[in-house]
Amino acid sequence: MGLVELLLIAIGLSMDAAAVSISKGIQLKRFEAGKAALVAAFFGGFQGLMPLIGWAAGVQFASIVETFAPWIAFVILAVIGGKMIWEARTEENGAEELAERLEGHEARAKDPFRLPELLILAVATSIDALAMGVTFALLGVDIVFAASLIAVTTAAISFVAVYVGHRFGARFERPAELVGGVILVGLGLRMLLEALGVLGG
């Protein structure tokens, strides 16, 4: 798996965090770089941590399922991407629903940048990266580089997304998640077709 593919995966995985970051920016009366950086640190940190955990689990049985790795990678990417596309087409964002259930329907009336809420959202939006870590183990990807790239990419996109949400409102929230889902499904399909010899590696 090359740098371009890893970068596209990082962008795709970051779209859940981007959508939630946009929703946080909407709630700012004025843009505050410190709060945007806090969001970026939480989302980027957990997006980088989760693949490490998934990789640690996946490496235990990577040799057993090595033959089926392209199929497993395709299924994981298709499921993650399909879920993002589905959530983008529904009325409510999945991570926001989770936050509202745990924090109550008055969450938006409170400080949207409280640490407990950011922690909940960071975990909720990084679960997909956990599954991706398993795929990295199966494909023999350099996990330190991949996790670092995902963390940095997510942090940067989340920071910008807070500003976008503050500046433009919710119009980019669901499109961001839709684009992320399409990227991941497309990558999974490409990897499978390459393994089958349909496309050149």
Q: Which of 22-31, 58-67, 162-171, 190-199 has the lowest mean pLDDT?
A: 58-67
pLDDT band at 167 (very low <50, low <70, confident <90, very high): confident
CA distances to 27, 100, 122, 134, 181 from 22, rounded to whole Å, are 9, 16, 14, 29, 17
CA distances to 10, 31, 36, 44, 49 from 160, rounded to whole Å, are 15, 11, 8, 12, 21
pLDDT of residue 25: 85
Mean pLDDT value of segment 68-74? 71
d(CA 194, CA 156): 31
Query: Kindly report the CA angle at 135 between 19 and 148, in degrees rounded to 5?
Result: 60
pTM here is 0.71
Q: Where are the domains of the chain?
A: 3-60+69-195
